[in-house]
Amino acid sequence: MDRLEGKMRLTELDVTLHQIDVAGRIGQPAGALHRVGTAVGAIVLGRRDTLPRPVLPPFGAYIQRRLGLTSTEPSAKPWRLLMTDSSRRDFLRTLCVATAAAARPRLAFAQEVRVRTIAGTGVAGYEVEGSGGLVATRTPVNNPYGIVVGPDGALYFCEVDTGRTRRMDLGTGRLTTIAGNGEAAYAGDGGPALAASFSAPHEIRFDADGHLFIVERDAHVVRRVDAQTGLVSTVAGTGEAGFSGDAGPAVEAQLRQPHSIAFVANGDLLICDIGNQRVRRVNVRSGTISTLSGTGEREPTPDTAALEGTPLRGPRSLDTDAAGNAYLVLREGNAVFRLDTSAGRLRRIAGTGETGFTGDGGPGGVATFNGPKGIAYSASDDSLYIVDTENHAIRRLSLSSGVLDTVLGTGERGDGPDGDPMRCQLARPHGVFAHEGVLYVTDSENHRVRALEGVL
């Protein structure tokens, strides 16, 4: 404080404007606060080496205009700022004002924040697409759930009611079906994906080799569509509900209403075996299955504990990061947990366990959810996007700051309108996926897929 309030001698600071990544980008208000603190500390102490990077140029220009700063070198070079005691204080005030502005969901210095429908008409249905596909925004879809961008850059989602997996070319906007014949059944192993039947697929993922994995709630299995041949096979489950098979082949083990799947950094497949109140793990090299966490008992999950031997109350959906962490939402537990698969520990990072729709703008640990059913990790802003299904909203948890906010939905059930995401009503969304600056959401009971832009 003395260094801020006392008289400071004139100091030359080389400040590269693209090294001050503070609140310019909507979608990172919490992380921006941390970076503002880092930038301010660096400037006050004369520490150029601690300046955060990279910067968002519009914010740098904004700071320049507010302080009337001029460059003594060409624009491609670092800006040389002469900062006196008063200009330091002005600079700090400007940083605080800009950060507060950026923390508001409707303000951004960069891309406009908006939501739009990219597939579906709002009415459940199916039309035969033909080889060329149909325009996605004029083609009905039916209760879309899991969603992911594939290795080819196309968007894939599964329909829980029809069993189909659809592919949308993000370049042309055309929609085709790549798996499922529209009949709800467990049939078709050994044959082509389009001739197979799938029973209530809840989520889809691609492995590192480009194979498509589909988890089926009502068939109690996980199946694979081979990337080269297009043939279907079962990788976990027998088709009969139950709990058995740990330490043995996954194809001989029983699951009970599995809902979600994800691959950890070492390639192993995690399964939310929600009917058994467990997360199961399939070693893809050996094909064996084991229990990662959960006891089978429907009991509260402690805030922190070992993975092994700890109850999970409704393990509904999970996603992973490159560091080997898994992020798990508990449907009945109304909470989000980080699972350190290497250390064998879990820790609650959001949700109190109570049902509600509170906590925006504050720590995720004191917020409430209502039956969350989807989650996605975004590396670009180090955040989790949580599908708060029964609140009809998508919420974001910054992992750097722990702050939670709502990015899409009003908390009330409805259908749109597109445009302002804070005025767009949803109807029991289930799936979410972040890719190249866009957040894709399956607005399930509105029979639409929406894209939220300008948040990441």
* Three-class HEC string of 6-32: CCCCCEEEEECHHHCCCCCCCCCHHHH
Average pLDDT, the chain: 82
Q: Six-digit token pair at 114?
A: 């908006």
pLDDT bracket for residue 66 (50, 70, 90): very low
Q: What is the pLDDT of residues 367-406, one digit of tens each?
A: 999 999 999 999 999 999 999 999 999 999 999 999 999 9
Q: Is the pLDDT of residue 416 over 60?
A: yes
| Percent of the residues in the chain that have a pLDDT greater than 70, as a whole number | 76
pLDDT bracket for residue 445 (50, 70, 90): very high
At 240 the pLDDT is 98
Q: What is the pLDDT of residues 282-338, one digit of tens each?
A: 999 999 999 999 999 999 999 999 999 999 999 999 999 999 999 999 999 999 999
Q: Which residues pair with 441 in a beta bridge?
A: 432, 450
Q: What is the pLDDT of residues 133-185, one digit of tens each?
A: 999 999 999 999 999 999 999 999 999 999 999 999 999 999 999 999 999 99
d(C-alpha 359, C-alpha 373), whole Å: 18
pLDDT bracket for residue 131 (50, 70, 90): confident
Q: Which amino acid is at 407?
A: V
Q: Would you state the torsion angle of the CA atoms of residues 210, 212, 215, 216, taken in this order, to the nearest 10 degrees?
A: -170
Q: Is the pLDDT of residue 349 over 70?
A: yes
Q: Which amino acid is at 162?
A: T
CA distances from 442 to 1, 141, 155 (A): 49, 10, 11
